[in-house]
Amino acid sequence: MKMVKLTHYAKRYSAAFDKFVNAPHMFKRLWEVNSNIKPLQKRQRVTLVRVIRVMLAAMDAENNQVGICNTDAMHGITHVNLMKRYKGMFGEFITKGRWYRAIKQLVNAGYLISKSALTINGTDESPLIRSIASLKEFTKLFFSDLNLEHKKDIRESRAKCVASRISQSRSSIWYGYKIFNKIRKHTKQGHGEPVTYDEVPSQYQAGIFSSA
């Protein structure tokens, strides 16, 4: 098993969420995300705890987004890459189906935002638009249920990470990063029309998106 160094705040969040395995009632909205009649089984809860740990290890301290702060901009991490990290951290392979079910459960519980995205480069006359690693962001609800944000050590750990990023001239801003939802309309003949894209949803803070 590959050792992955977590920041202090990531360790604290992960340890708090580990309780979900044996005390799922502490995170009831996630425990009953599929149905309050048939809550998540223990093996499913173990998977969710591990997926959260993998993502916390790559979370930025400033905006709660999963990605890498580089000098030019913040870059996302693909789900495939995160699955590889899962194997490195826990010594076992996770299937795409199992991974994406966990992601869907976290999204449906209100703990995670995971949206497809585009990056826009080039010129106005000849823009270059391509799909890139989706936006993955932990929500305020997730941290509210963990109930650790008021802790002094958490605030100090986050502040140190932000200060370190700034001192190294690394950016936490997405450059030309746009969220989209695929919409495919079907004709009577059954042939799909070209995929179109929605505007950036209003619930996202405009401040995390820079203009292309």
What is the per-residue pLDDT across 133-143, written as a single tens digit (0 to 9) for each?
Answer: 888 999 999 99
DSSP annotation string for 65-79? BBEEE-SS-EEE--H
Backbone angles phi, psi at 71, to 5 degrees: -65, -35
Average pLDDT over residues 67-85: 90
**Rounded (10°) angle between helices 79-90 and 96-108:** 110
* 53-68 pLDDT per residue, tens: 999 999 999 999 998 8
Higher pLDDT, 206 or 169: 169
Where is pLDDT greater, at 203 or 82?
82
Long-range contacts of 181-185 (CB under 8 A, 24+ apart): 181/115, 181/116, 182/116
**Tens of pLDDT, residues 125-169:** 776 666 778 889 999 999 999 999 999 999 999 999 999 999 999
% of residues, the chain, pLDDT over 70: 75
